[in-house]
Amino acid sequence: MILCANPSAQFHSHKAEIEQAIRQVLDSGRYVLGPELEALEYEFAEYIETSHAIGVANGTDALELALRALDIGLGDEVITVSHTAVATVAAIEAAGAVPVLVDAEPHYWTLDAEQLSGVLTERTRAVVAVHLYGQAADMDAITEFCRDRKLALVEDVSQAHGARWKGKRLGSLGDIGCFSCYPTKNLGAIGDAGLVVTGNVKLAARVRMLREYGWRERYVSEFAGRNSRLDELQAAILRVKLRHLDEDNAKRRANASHYTESLAGQGFQLPSVRPGAEHVFHLYVIKLRNRVGIMEHLKQLGIQAGIHYPVPVHLQPAYKGRIRTALTMRCTESLVDEVLSLPLYPELGPEQIDEVVRALKSFTCQTLDSGLLE
């Protein structure tokens, strides 16, 4: 079976280091907010090329606490994109704010910056730029929009750990950056974990307090916070994986290049890399017709593909009819019917990629023979 993502393979590739790190934590007697987390926060801030990193329980919390640190809450509007994980919007609502959704752009499938002005109101306080599938959203246009209107810019980097925009690490470009470290991510824990980064010392201090009940002094809540602490085991595991992140991202890019070269001219829309972006291919997503048939064909051959995402946020039952959107969501509503994520992770070998490519080509040949693509 070729899996779409394989966090177990990632564990086995760094098994000795991870097991040693876990043993050290178990022997230390410090399990929450200890030296491993402090070291991870220092190392991750250095890696992202910013001054502060704060470990939290998961990526959704990272976004919620970032918004709350910016004093964004009840009645404030936050603009983001509908073609994203629902966690992005769930976090906005968890902070008490109102999500407003725009369409994706047709070539790179990230937030369409041209729609931002059309949904702007006097209550707009921030934009959450989602760096989808492993590459940057249009940060020049989004940054200019936020700067000119004095809006906060929050980066959701949950699918783009290590990626760059014009030489700068994603997460360091806005006011604050948020990362999920769910096991399937480019930098994945063995469980839930998240990180917040910022170059603003006041925002960093506020996130640290928000993640633990609003404490500056233990047991004294200066404001209402919550419990969103990243434990020592996950911090230790992430420290191991962070040391290998650039190498693993290089393997992802090599695998993506293998797919692109092998699938050229086969009738699929392949991923486009934005000029100025360094893509880290969290996912290798193609656009195609007859997705149901292709997925079933792949499944029969022992190949698991994924859909990211099958329903846009604005059409999900929990949100449909109550979230304001841009006037047109045409690109998003087209993508959800046609995108397919092919297997991709650092440990995926070229022979397995060739097997996936052969399966796709064999389906194409079958449908051409039967006239289904005419």
372: pLDDT confidence band, cut at 50, 70 and 90?
Answer: very low
Q: Do domains 7-102+110-242 and 245-370 have the same CATH topology?
A: no
Is pTM, for the whole model, over 0.85?
Answer: yes
Cα 142 from Cα 114, distance rounded (Å): 9
Q: What token pair was written down for 308?
A: 């990211």
What is residue 364's predicted lDDT score, i.e. its pLDDT? 72
What's the Cα-to-Cα distance from 350 to each of 4, 326, 346, 366, rounded to whole Å? 15, 42, 11, 24
Per residue in 42-88, pLDDT tens? 999 999 999 999 999 999 999 999 999 999 999 999 999 999 999 99
Is 196 within 8 Å of 211 (Cβ atoms)?
A: no
Residue 170 has pLDDT above 60, yes or no: yes
Is 27 within 8 Å of 245 (Cβ atoms)?
A: no
Q: Where are the domains of the chain?
A: 7-102+110-242, 245-370
Residue 366 has pLDDT above 70, yes or no: no
The residue-averaged pLDDT of 135-154 equals 98
Query: To the nearest 5 percent, what fractions of the chain are helix, strand and coil?
Result: 40, 20, 40
- Of 29, 28, 52, the C-alpha closest to 40 is 52
Residue 91 has pLDDT above 70, yes or no: yes
State whether CATH 3.40.640.10 applies to domain 7-102+110-242. yes
Backbone angles phi, psi at 125, to 5 degrees: -120, -25
| 196-205, 223-232, 247-256, 360-369: the lowest-pLDDT one | 360-369
245-370 maps to which CATH number? 3.90.1150.10
Pairing of strands 324-325, 98-102: parallel
Cα 214 from Cα 216, distance rounded (Å): 7
Is 270 within 8 Å of 260 (Cβ atoms)?
A: yes
Per residue in 277-295, pLDDT tens? 999 999 999 999 999 999 9
| Amino acid (one-letter) located at 302 | G
pLDDT averaged over every residue in the chain: 96
What is residue 133's predicted lDDT score, i.e. its pLDDT? 98
Cα 209 from Cα 299, distance rounded (Å): 47
Residue 310 has pLDDT above 50, yes or no: yes
What is residue 374's predicted lDDT score, i.e. its pLDDT? 34
Token pair 């997503």 is found at: 285
Q: What token pair was written down for 212?
A: 């633990």
DSSP codes of every residue in 18-34 = HHHHHHHHHHH---BSS
User: What share of the chain in percent tops pLDDT 70?
Assistant: 97
The residue-averaged pLDDT of 230-240 equals 98
Cα 209 from Cα 141, distance rounded (Å): 32
Residue 296 has pLDDT above 80, yes or no: yes
